């Protein structure tokens, strides 16, 4: 059985972060993708308070449940 608790980390540009949040929002946001949506919105809030960009950490199973378009955004930038 695969290790479902494997943590993955991502760094996103602010633009890609906002796009990912918007995609998830349109698909149900917190109700449909609670852990991912909360992690992304939290990182956006940090940046709005002028904190430097930080890694976003998600468990593999959470990433695998995201829409392909969001997975691609997370995959486009080095972690």
Three-state secondary structure readout of the chain: CCCCCCEEEECCCHHHHHHHHHHHHHCCHHHHCHHHHHHHHHHHHHHHCCCCCCCEEEEHHHHHCCCHHHHHHHHCCCC
In-domain check, residue 62: yes
CA–CA separation, 4 and 35 (whole Å): 15
Task: Report pTM.
Answer: 0.87
**What is the chain's length?**
79
With respect to residue 2, please indicate whether it lies within any of the assigned structural domains. no
Is residue 3 assigned to a domain? no
Count of domains forming the chain: 1
Condensed to tens digits (0 to 9), the pLDDT of residues 21-66 reads: 999 999 999 999 999 999 999 999 999 999 999 999 999 999 999 9
Domain assignment present for residue 54? The answer is yes
Give the domain range for residue 37: 9-75
């Amino acid at each position: 059985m695969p290790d479902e608790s494997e943590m993955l980390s991502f760094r996103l540009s602010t633009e890609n972060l906002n796009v990912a949040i918007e995609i998830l929002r349109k698909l149900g946001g917190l109700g449909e993708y609670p852990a991912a949506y909360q992690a992304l919105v939290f990182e956006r809030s940090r940046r709005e308070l002028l904190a430097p960009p930080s890694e976003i950490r998600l468990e593999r199973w959470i990433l695998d449940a995201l829409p392909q378009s969001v997975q691609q955004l997370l995959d486009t930038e080095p972690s």
